[in-house]
Amino acid sequence: MNGTIASLVGALMVGAALALPAVSFAQAPGELHRQRTEHFPVMHQAIQQLQQTKQMLTSDAAADFHSHKANAINHINAAIQELKAGIQEERKH
């Protein structure tokens, strides 16, 4: 079960990392403008997926797996905050 949580969190972190290039400055200006006007749908989708994963982990009454589950939830919270901060920074520009 411990490997399952680690795999799930790892997969989500990879998914979030793959979502980040969607708002990269390396993109064509038109694409970046489109995403700004659409309020960064990829970033919001990544946040939603992280929140759903956090809910799955917190609703499971199983053991904490020697604090690894709590650590995973803390990392998810940090990832959500980073994504939100990135959206706010882009909205300033």
Look up residue 49 and give its amino acid: Q
Contact predicate 16/76, CB 8 Å: no
Q: Which residue has the tokens 């309020």?
A: 39
pTM for this one? Answer: 0.60
The domain limits of the chain are 2-92
- Please say whether the dihedral angle defined by the alpha carbons of residues 62, 68, 70 and 74, taken in this order, is positive or negative: negative
Contact predicate 16/46, CB 8 Å: yes
Backbone angles phi, psi at 25, to 5 degrees: -70, -15
| pLDDT tens readout for residues 24-69 | 555 666 776 666 656 788 999 999 999 999 999 998 767 788 889 9
